[in-house]
Structure 1
Amino acid sequence: MSNTVKDLTAGTAGGIAQVLVGQPFDIVKVRMQTAPKGTYNGMLHCAGGILKNEGPLAFYKGTLTPLLGIGVCVSIQFGALEYAKRVFASQNLAIGRGGEGGRSLTGNQLFIAGVFAGLANGVVSGPVEHIRIRLQTQSDTNRLYNGPWDAIKKIYGQNGIAGIYKGQGVTLLREASGYGVYFLTYEKLVQWEMAKKGIRRDQIKPINSIAYGAAAGYALWAVIYPIDMIKSRMQTDGFSPATGQKYKSTLDCVRTVWRTEGAGAFVRGLTPTLIRSPFANGATFLGFEMAMRALDKL
């Protein structure tokens, strides 16, 4: 089995694990990000309202899109990351840089590899998250879409491919900056343990993969949360013909939110994200690492 096939397969396993663990937290985050100021008193108020008014299955509303799409997205992330790591490793080996056969990459190399992974992923994650957010924020009493495929058809029919890729610019900014930090944090922690204990990567305990993934997740959200909030606003803008379009551009969205809602709006919904992050990202890296170990034995 080629390295690329293994990378993509293991990445898919990590993506599926991420969605199943993180989806309930994510819908609360998106509802809080996109609701008018004062709608919710906090995370529990939001979650309680969803449970009371829409039932427990509402926490997995729109799950089909991320289960398929984010599985693909995370597969692309890890495929691009591992490819970039191999390119840098070959360069290091060529110039005689030691350490694990030339594969002990520098922080700059890991960050660039992460940026590359984020940009590659962003081409798919932009429309996937757009459709997911549309489904997550619609009310059961006033449904515009009957599912992900219905949403895709209606959005494309009204606005073409530009409608599907709404908010893509801010999505690429989020992916590039966030995943550069994300993979840098995880890989450096892995390198640290390998060097400290003199072990191979496949000898790292699964619980440590979860812990390092959790740390990487917190690093990711520390960088991208305000950007993510703007992305959510842009992708739900013009959601209903009754409300119309509020923002002329991403910059206009930033200015309008700052002027009308203040700095607090940029971190609204952060609590469910911080609670979700260690579970979802720990599951992602555990799924990837365990799948890679299984595939290496084939």
Structure 2
Amino acid sequence: MVGLKPSDVPPTPGVKFLSAGTAACIADLFTFPLDTAKVRLQIQGEKAAVEAAKNIRYSGVFGTIATMVKTEGPRSLYNGLVAGLQRQMAFASIRIGLYDSVKQFYSNGKESAGVGIRILAGCTTGAMAVSVAQPTDVVKVRFQAQLTLKGVERRYNGTMQAYKAIFRQEGIQGLWKGTLPNITRNAIVNAAELVTYDIIKETILKYKLLTDNLPCHFLSAFGAGFCTTVIASPVDVVKTRYMNSPLGQYKSAINCAWTMFSKEGPTAFYKGFVPSFLRLGSWNVVMFVSFEQLKRAMMMSKQSLECTA
């Protein structure tokens, strides 16, 4: 057995909720530079980004990371990390931690749920999570897009100052800017990610290709990351562009998508695909492996405390 063995007692909803948020934060700490590179590649081509970056051009995920380190220093790769961790504790706890509970609710408590029920559960928890955590996502994206160059005025100087500035300048709707495309994106991402992970893992265990341990979790998470990137990349690019845009640049998310298509062509929707996959693939691996182990560790601790009591 590789890693902790499964608990005899199924994890409680509370354990899943806390494990999901913690595992997502761990995954963010490892993969945040890839996410930042993805954001920079996605906004490249926008007028504001071109004017601010001047002669800076990003090419490929590792080229983008190298350029950022050279021009802005290594700390720039973690711009928005605080907001990112805040987002994961609010966001992943709901979308991943509550997935099984919502799946059981839709299937009337049945242990085995069909693909349709799983997709519905993933869409539901993804939409719920965005409704709660949207302000943290707006601040994270804006920090990642922000250049830290001499002579370039910084848009925000701190996480709390960013929340206040956005509220003061754009109102409550500014903090929830891009909620509709983000709900769309995360409903798709969550359904693709969790359902794919579920199905791959169950198939591996059903045919006894691997036991329920780290290699099984790794393969399931890697497959889920690739499928999710292919499905969600277009919506993700529109979400990033729209959330990062100044007030009035786009009338709506649909207008943002049409502007991208008419000015940059259909390939614009897959800008940053490689860093998106590297980020989602690696993020899924770290998150799901951590999630499975944290659930087991927490249940072991819970049972030990109950035995002691």
Instruction: Give the TM-score taking structure 1 as reference length.
Output: 0.88
For residues 191-247 of structure 1, the C-alpha deviation after alignment (integer angstroms, 9 at most, x for no partner) is 213322399xxx611122122111111111111111010011111111xxxxx6321
What residue identity is the alignment partner of 1:292? Answer: K
| Aligned residue number for residue 291 of structure 1 | 294
Identity of aligned residues (%): 25
Report whether the alignment pairs 1:270 with 2:267: no
Q: Distance in 2 between matches of 1:67 and 1:91?
A: 33
Do the aligned residues in 2 keep the contact of 1:69 with 1:124 (CA within 8 Å)? no
Displacement of 1:276 after TM fit?
A: 2.1
Flag structure 2 segments of 5+ consecutive residues without an equivalent: 1-9, 51-56, 303-309
Q: Who is 2:42 aligned against?
A: 33
Contact 2:233 2:269 (8 Å CA) reproduced = yes
Output aligned runs, 1:141-152, within 5 Å.
141=149, 142-152=153-163
CA offsets, 1:37-82, max 9 Å, x none?
7843333332222010111121111101111221221111123202
Q: What's the counterpart of residue 4 of structure 1? A: 13
Output one character per residue of 1:249-298: Cα deviation in whole Å (capped at 9) or x when no partner. 11111111111111121111111112222211111111111111112222
C-alpha separation in 2, matches of 1:249 and 1:120: 21
Q: Corresponding residue for 1:170? A: 181
Q: Secondary structure at the match of 1:197?
A: coil
C-alpha root-mean-square deviation of aligned residues, in Å? 2.0
Tell me the number of residue pairs that the alignment of Structure 1 and Structure 2 aligns.
280
Rounded Cα–Cα distance in structure 2 between residues aligned with 1:89 and 1:286? 26
Q: Does 1:219 align with 2:219?
A: no
CA 1:283–1:248: 2 relative to 1, 3 Å: same
Q: Return the alpha-carbon distance in structure 2 between the equivalents of residues 71 and 206 of structure 1.
A: 24
The secondary structure found in structure 2 opposite 1:79 is coil
Q: Secondary structure, in 3 states, of the residue corresponding to 1:36? A: coil
Stretches of structure 1 lacking an aligned partner (at least 5 in a row) = 93-102, 239-243
CA contact (8 A) 2:260 2:268 kept: yes
Asked whether the 8 Å contact 1:170–1:250 carries over to 2, the reply is: yes
Correspondence for 1:247 among 236, 243, 250: 250
Amino acid at match of 2:251: K
Match of 1:256 in 2: 259
Shift of 1:13: 2.1
Contact 1:234 1:253 in 2 (8 A): yes
Question: How has the CA–CA distance of structure 1 residues 210 and 125 changed in structure 2, closer, same or farther, with 3 Å as cutoff?
Answer: farther
- Is this contact kept in 2: 1:14–1:71, CA < 8 A? no
TM-aligned CA distance change 1:234 to 1:264, over 3 Å = same
Can you list the C-alpha shifts for 1:86-136, whole angstroms capped at 9, x where unaligned? 3245443xxxxxxxxxx1221112111111121111113422221011111
Task: Please say if residues 138 and 144 of structure 1, whose CA atoms lie closer than 8 Å, have aligned partners that are also in contact.
Answer: yes
Q: TM-score scaled by structure 2?
A: 0.85
Question: How far did residue 248 of structure 1 move?
Answer: 1.0
CA distance in 2, matches of 1:74, 1:191: 22
Match of 1:207 in 2: 215
**Which residue does 2:3 correspond to in 1?**
none
Looking at structure 1, the residues matched to 109 and 17 of structure 2 have their Cα atoms a distance apart, in angstroms, of: 23
**Amino acid across the alignment from 1:111:** I
Alignment of 1:106-145 (within 5 A): 106-141=114-149, 142-145=153-156
